[in-house]
Structure 1
Amino acid sequence: MKILLVKLSSLGDVVHTLPVVQDIRAAFPGALIDWVVEKAFAPLLARSEGLHRVVPCEIRRWRKSFWTGATRQEWGAFRAQLQQDAYDAVIDLQGLTKSALVARLARLAPGGKRYALANQTDGSGYEAPTRWVADVAIAVEPHIHAVRRSRELAARALGYTPAAATHFGLKVPARPAKTHEHFPKGYIAFVHGTSRVDKEWPLSHWVALGQRLNTAGYQVLLPHGNAAELRTSQTIAEALNGTAPDSAMLLPLLPLDAMAEEIAQCAGVIGVDSGVSHIAVALDLPHVQIYNFDTAWRTGPDALGLGGRQTSVFAQPAPGVDAVWQAWLACGAEVNA
């Protein structure tokens, strides 16, 4: 059986879809599973255990320059790669016009079908072409966690029952955990970057939390994905290192697979609702996810049944430092208060 998954973006949505690969592998051990995704996220999918082929695209960029010869050439190459194989099932797990277009372009094997969502779910985008293109449109419960939505859609499309446990199948090379002589408990990664300003946590809160963690024997690791996030990381590092040298360390700009490797060596992660925070969940690290909106029911780790190692904290306009600290303690982290 050959199956094509279509989930193009964004990073958090891609991470939330990873368990579908493991569900299908468990139900059909011989299945070959391919995935179409935006090129920026392809390195992360290369870490997905059991995924046969990743088909990268750049629809976000192409639609801004669709009239140019270079874009037409790249689009043609993508279409040829997409149609390299014929699929028994094409599952549009995104529910947008762009994902419907990709699903429509994919080549079906004799008897193959295209599947898609028949309805919008709470808090998620949805566009009608996804069900117009599908041979089978599947309605799911509107009030549903993002991970469960993808798992349920794929299971009903292919006729299996997913396991109760959630397995992301994100594998990174095993390396010794990083430690520092003055911070023997290792690194805690601060994931402060997000695509939405209203999801950010106050800068002063990050510094205050970092100081508590430094006192408890942890060094702060600061990843970033763009220039604005780098400036925030630098500001946090300057504040912490001004108190005690080496209290915080900046990561260089890394592709997602390399960033996942770095985060995997941490003793834990504290972050806002963002794709990199969801990677921490997929890696099963002790993790606190910070919400300024009451949306953790849809994207947070609490509803996934992963145990007490991962939790979320919500308050408006933003959770306080004490609330996040207590949530960190509740993750089972051994710290000296």
Structure 2
Amino acid sequence: MKILLVKLSSLGDVVHTLPVVQDILAAHPGAQIDWVVEKSFAPLLMPLLGTGLRRVIPCEIRRWRKSFWTAATRAEWCAFKQELQAEAYDAVIDLQGLTKSAVVARLARLSASGRRYALANQTEGSGYEAPTRWLADVAIPIQPHIHAVQRSRELCARALGYTLPPALDYGLKAALAQEGRASSAPETIAFVHGTSRADKQWPLENWVSLGRQLNALGYHIALPHGNAEELVVSQLLAAALDGKNPGTQAVVWPRLPLDALTRELAPCAGVIGVDSGLSHIAVALDLPHVQIYNFDTAWRTGPAGAVQAGHEGGRQISVYAQPTPSVRAVWDAWLSCQSAVADPGTAL
């Protein structure tokens, strides 16, 4: 069975879709799975090549639509269509629910018995555009109140006719374990302070206070960044933390492609971060993780199966408060994560 998944963006949405690959392979071990994704997010999928995915097909629709009239864009678009149509698929599944993903799914070539599948309706908090169901052969209704991970899993299960396995597996942890390489120190905790929306950020002074508490326990702090603005924040944090506790340090990581950044995160002792794509990668790696929310949306995008702060037993916890969670709330959540790691029998 040849299957094409269409999930183009954003980073968090791509991460939330990863479990469908393992679900499909559990139900159809011989399936050959390809994935169309925006080029900037393609590196995240590369570790899965050979361990889940057969082919990653990058596109640049975000850029192309800004210069669709140029000869260069037309040439790139034609090359993309040629690569997309190199195979005939038994199932093409639009997991995005937008016009751009519907067009890509429609362009894909089907086998004699192949069909295109898509969402029939919008779910709470997600984007949705009607062409996704108009251009599909089969539009599948999904309950409106559903976690982003579960939405994709249910859509694929119903499209391909299998029962969802009870275990949630993103595939990344096992893929990286096969590579057997790690460079980050195991006593490192990564602070994911960067996010595409300013109203999701956590105050700088909170990061400093939290970092000093973690330093006092002997942890090093790693500070990734994705752009110039985030680099400035990382440098400010490093300056505020470095050398304040003997034997600890704060390290600003260089800007890395997603596959390299994922490999750096994998051996860390844990991650504390705001609602962002990088935090969702930490979830996919099954790291101890506290995810900080200024909005009550963790039920939809937070760690799937995680507990809310104030409850015991989870190695991944989402913390929500307005205008923003306190340092104490995040600290207590981190300690709860560590308790779950120390006693796996209490973890969800």
| TM-score normalised by the chain length of structure 2 | 0.92
- Aligned residue number for residue 180 of structure 2: 174
> Aligned equivalents of 1:178 and 1:304: distance in 2?
25
- Call closer, same or farther: CA 1:255–1:134 in 2, change over 3 Å: same
Q: How far is the alpha carbon of 1:60 from its aligned partner?
A: 0.5
Q: Is the 8 A contact 2:184 2:264 kept in 1?
A: no
- Given the alignment of the two structures, is residue 38 of structure 1 paired with residue 38 of structure 2, yes or no? yes
Q: Give 1:1-337 correspondences, 5 Å limit.
A: 1-48=1-48, 49-170=51-172, 171-172=175-176, 173-175=179-181, 178-179=184-185, 186-241=187-242, 243-244=244-245, 247-303=249-305, 308-332=314-338
Q: How far is the alpha carbon of 1:247 from its aligned partner?
A: 2.1
User: Which stretches in structure 1 are left out of the alignment for 5+ residues?
Assistant: 180-184
Deviations 1:79-131 (A, max 9, x none): 00000000000000000000001001000000110000000000000000000
Q: How far is the alpha carbon of 1:10 from its aligned partner?
A: 0.3
Deviations 1:26-71 (A, max 9, x none): 0001110000000011111011231110000000011111111110
Q: Is the 8 A contact 2:317 2:333 kept in 1?
A: yes
Deviations 1:199-224 (A, max 9, x none): 11111100100000000110000001
SS in 2 for 1:114: strand
> Aligned equivalents of 1:67 and 1:203: distance in 2?
44
> Aligned equivalents of 2:43 and 2:324: distance in 1?
33
Moved over 4 A (4+): none
Q: How far is the alpha carbon of 1:178 from its aligned partner?
A: 4.0
SS in 1 for 2:300: helix
- Call closer, same or farther: CA 1:18–1:302 in 2, change over 3 Å: closer
Q: How far is the alpha carbon of 1:302 from its aligned partner?
A: 4.9
Q: Is the 8 A contact 1:166 1:304 kept in 2?
A: no
> Aligned equivalents of 1:280 and 1:108: distance in 2?
35
> Aligned equivalents of 2:55 and 2:109: distance in 1?
15
SS in 2 for 1:254: coil
Q: How far is the alpha carbon of 1:259 from its aligned partner?
A: 0.2
Matched AA of 1:43: P
Matched AA of 1:34: D
> Aligned equivalents of 2:77 and 2:122: distance in 1?
29
SS in 2 for 1:285: coil
Deviation larger for 245-254 or 140-149: 245-254
Deviations 1:203-251 (A, max 9, x none): 1100100000000110000001111111110111111115247520010
Deviation larger for 243-252 or 198-207: 243-252
- Call closer, same or farther: CA 1:292–1:8 in 2, change over 3 Å: same
> Aligned equivalents of 2:6 and 2:232: distance in 1?
34
Q: How far is the alpha carbon of 1:327 from its aligned partner?
A: 0.3
- Aligned residue number for residue 182 of structure 1: none
SS in 2 for 1:47: helix
Q: How far is the alpha carbon of 1:176 from its aligned partner?
A: 5.1
Q: How far is the alpha carbon of 1:311 from its aligned partner?
A: 0.9
Q: Is the 8 A contact 1:115 1:134 kept in 2?
A: yes
Matched AA of 1:97: T
User: Which stretches in structure 2 are left out of the alignment for 5+ residues?
Assistant: 308-312, 343-348
> Aligned equivalents of 1:328 and 1:24: distance in 2?
34
Deviation larger for 234-243 or 187-196: 234-243
Q: Is the 8 A contact 1:5 1:33 kept in 2?
A: yes
Q: How far is the alpha carbon of 1:164 from its aligned partner?
A: 1.3
> Aligned equivalents of 1:177 and 1:326: distance in 2?
28
SS in 1 for 2:47: coil
Matched AA of 2:166: A
